[in-house]
Amino acid sequence: MIAILKHGTTEAQTQHLVDWLKQQNLDVHISEGKEVTVLGLIGDTSAVDMDLLGSLEIVDAVRRVSEPFKKANRKFHPQDTIVDVGGVKIGGGSFAMIAGPCSVESEEQIIEVASAVKASGANLLRGGAFKPRTSPYAFQGMQGEGLKLLLKAKKATGMPIVTEIMNISTLDLFADVDLIQVGARNMQNFDLLKELGKTKKPILLKRGLANTLQELLMSAEYIMSEGNEQVILCERGVRTFETFTRNTLDLSAVPSLHQLSHLPVVVDPSHATGKSWLVPPMAYAAAASGADGIMVEVHNNPSCALCDGAQSLTPPQFDQVAQKVRKIREVLA
C-alpha cells in the first residue's frame, strides 16, 4: 500500500504519520521526491483502514500495490534511483559504460585493457576473478589473486571496478570493490542476496538464465529488504529455443523494468549474444532502448582469452562502440 502525501506537508507532519503507521506493525518506506512524498507501507496492510488514512488532511491518495515487490517498485519510489559507484553515477540520465575482460588473467592484461577502455570513455572496469563456469574443468578464474590484480588496475587507472561474488565467505576480499556483481546463475541464491543486503555496497544483479522480470525484481527485493537499496539490474539475455546466439537478448526488459521499478537497468550484450560481431549492434540497441548503461567484454587478444574470447571485443572495436553509443544517447536526449 502507498500513501501519497499532499504537496507542502511538513517533515513533522510526515513523521507523525509514520510513527502512527509504525505503531500498527508496519514498516514504512519514505520516498521524498521533488513534487511529492510517497510513503510505502510494508507488512500486513490488511488491517489498515484505507478510508481513514485517505481522509487525513495531509494524505492525497492511498493505493494498494498488488505487485509482490515493494521496495523495488516504482509506485513506492516514483523518481529514478541513481546509484553512486565509486563516484560514477548510474541511473536517472547518467550512463555507465562498463568494459573489461571476462576474466582477469594477468597484471599486464588487466592494466592494458583497463587503460585502453578508459581512453575510449569507459567509466567502470569489469573483470572476473571468481568465475562461475559450466564445466568444473574450465578455467575457474584467478580468484583472490585476480581480485588483487583488479585492485591494481583500479589504482593505476582510477576507475571504479565491478567483479562477481560467488560465495559470501569471500566477502572480505571485496572491501575495495566498488560494485559487486551477482551473476545470472546466482540470481536466486537467496542466502547470498540476503547477506549482500546487509552490506553497504552497490550490487549489480544479473537476470537469471530463465527468470521472469518479476523474479528478477523479487531478487532485488531480497537485497533491498535487508537495507541495501543500491541495486542495479542487468539484462544479459535469457534462454530460449534459439541456439544461434548464446542467449536471446530481451531488450523489451529495459523499458519494462523502468516502468515497474525505479532501479537503474544496464544491458550486457556480450553474454546475451556470445558473438563479438553481434555485440556492437546490440549495444546500440540497448542504448536506444533507454538503458542506463552497457557492460561489454573487451580483451587485448580475444583469440587467446581464457574465457569468452568469442564474444570479446578488441580495444579498437570497443572504441567504435563507445563513440556510437555516445552519439545515440545524444540523439535521444
Binding residues vs Mn ion (CB under 5 A): 102, 308
* Minimum CB distance to ligand PEP, residue 102 (Å): 5
What is each CA distance from 266 to 52, 54, 105, 120, 198, in whole angstroms? 41, 37, 25, 19, 23
* Minimum CB distance to ligand PEP, residue 236 (Å): 4
For residue 102, give every residue at least 6 positions away whose Cβ sits within 8 Å of its Cβ, in sequence order, or none: 128, 131, 270, 297, 299, 305, 307, 308, 311, 312
Q: Mask 239-278, x = binds ligand PEP (CB under 6 A)?
A: -----------------------------x--x-------
Instruction: Let me know: does 73 contact 260? Beta carbons within 8 Å.
Output: yes
132 binds ligand PEP per the rule CB under 6 A: yes
What is each CA distance from 29 to 199, 227, 321, in whole angstroms? 19, 11, 40
Site residues for ligand PEP, window 164-203 (CB under 6 A)?
Answer: 164, 183-185
Q: Mask 207-236, x = binds ligand PEP (CB under 6 A)?
A: -----------------------------x
Beta carbon nearer to Mn ion, 181 or 219 = 181
Element (H, E) at 194: helix 190-197
Q: Residue 61, Cβ neighbours under 10 Å: how many?
A: 13
102 binds ligand PEP per the rule CB under 6 A: yes
93 binds, among ligand PEP, Mn ion, none (CB under 5 to 8 A by kind): none
List b or e across 73-84, with b for residues whose CB sees 16 or more CB atoms inside 10 angstroms: bbbbbbbbbebe
195 binds, among ligand PEP, Mn ion, none (CB under 5 to 8 A by kind): none
Beta carbon nearer to Mn ion, 77 or 299 = 299
* Minimum CB distance to Mn ion, residue 307 (Å): 6
Beta carbon nearer to Mn ion, 53 or 102 = 102
Q: Which residues bind ligand PEP (CB under 6 A)?
A: 102, 128, 132, 164, 183-185, 206, 236, 268, 271
